[in-house]
């Protein structure tokens, strides 16, 4: 760090080579020619932590993430883990969107998807010229309801071969974009599992969207799994229970882009709601009746 002049703000580049077909590999090659190769990290080689460790004593730097929204979330989560021990705890982050939906990149005005036609040197210029803006991030806690927990405890107590204590079933994760309950979440899970099972087949943005569309059409034909969702879910906002219409899915939004650029909140309206942003400390809740 003492060899870096005060006015210099280094750039660290993370590339997910699994995103965007061969685009990630091409970007690694280009950026390693334009920058010091030690500034460019292939996320297949240990994830974001090696790069963050190298930059831990640098007081100010920027990050460029080449990947989808999931890759951006991965880097942010690693920053959460190492930030307290680093000189720069919250470096600004830019995005080259290589994913399928790229909703976060759309909202932050990095574009709907990198096509491979843009000069990498122009990308670096955009990173230098970009304005910094805040992004809300939320902790989501998921746990079974009390009745299910009580039934689990009784079952464990009656099982003489089990241990005296059960593992805590609570799950905690960080939300950057949105999360869904119901038909939307089911579709996302199906797509994720299909991609995990045969990753080689999901090698282009167009193909991925086609698969997602076909899965969505199947869900619309067979809606039995989520048609009574509104009867089984309670939504409480500011301490008040909300009466739900017959929705098949509920989406909690942090950003106004969902499902590859759609805005489920709708256009600006002159009503009781203020204009939502991704840095206002509020979440938007919408119901959907299909995919």
Domains of the chain: which residue ranges?
11-129, 143-172, 176-288
Start-end of H helices in 130-241: 146-158, 183-197, 205-221, 229-232
At 202-223, the pLDDT tens digits run 666 666 767 666 766 676 666 5
Question: Residue 162: which pLDDT band, with cuts at 50, 70 and 90?
Answer: very low
The CATH architecture annotation of domain 11-129 reads 3-Layer(aba) Sandwich (3.40)
Task: With beta carbons less than 8 A apart as the criterion, state whether 85 and 95 touch.
Answer: no
Residue showing tokens 């919250």 = 90
Q: What is the pLDDT of residues 92-140, one digit of tens each?
A: 999 999 988 899 999 999 999 998 889 999 999 999 999 999 999 999 9
Which region among 15-29, 100-114, 149-163 has the lowest average model confidence (pLDDT)? 149-163
Q: Does the pLDDT of residue 25 top 70, yes or no? A: yes
Highest mean pLDDT among 4-18, 116-130, 184-198: 116-130
Question: What is the average pLDDT score of the chain?
Answer: 83
Q: Which residue has the higher pLDDT, 215 or 163?
A: 215
The string of pLDDT tens digits covering residues 43-93 is: 999 999 999 999 999 999 999 999 999 999 999 999 998 877 889 989 999
- Of the two residues 73 and 167, the one the predictor is more confident about is 73
């Amino acid at each position: 760090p003492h060899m870096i002049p005060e006015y210099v703000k280094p750039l660290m580049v993370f590339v997910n080579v699994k995103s965007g077909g061969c685009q990630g590999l091409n970007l690694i090659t280009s950026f390693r020619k334009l920058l010091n190769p030690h500034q460019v990290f292939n996320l297949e080689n240990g994830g974001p932590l090696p790069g963050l460790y190298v930059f831990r004593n640098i007081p100010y730097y920027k990050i460029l993430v080449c990947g989808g929204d999931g890759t951006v979330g991965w880097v942010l989560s690693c920053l959460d883990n190492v930030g307290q021990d680093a000189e720069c705890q919250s470096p600004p982050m830019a995005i080259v969107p290589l994913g399928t939906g790229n909703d976060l990149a759309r909202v932050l005005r990095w574009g709907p998807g990198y096509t491979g036609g843009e000069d990498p040197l122009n990308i670096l210029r955009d990173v230098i010229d970009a304005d910094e803006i805040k992004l809300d991030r939320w902790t989501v806690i998921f746990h079974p309801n009390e009745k299910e927990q009580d039934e689990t405890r009784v079952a464990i107590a009656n099982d003489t071969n089990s241990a005296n204590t059960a593992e805590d079933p609570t799950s905690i994760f960080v939300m950057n974009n949105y999360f869904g309950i119901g038909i939307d979440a089911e579709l996302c899970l199906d797509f994720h599992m299909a991609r995990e099972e045969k990753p080689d087949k999901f090698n282009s943005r167009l193909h991925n969207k086609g698969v997602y569309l076909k899965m969505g059409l199947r869900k619309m034909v067979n809606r039995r799994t989520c048609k009574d969702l509104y009867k089984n879910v309670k939504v409480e906002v500011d301490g008040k229970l909300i009466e739900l219409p017959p929705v098949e899915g509920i989406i909690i939004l942090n950003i106004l882009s969902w499902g590859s650029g759609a805005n489920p909140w709708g256009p600006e309206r002159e009503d009781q709601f203020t204009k939502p942003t991704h840095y206002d400390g509020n979440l938007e809740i919408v119901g959907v009746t299909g995919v």
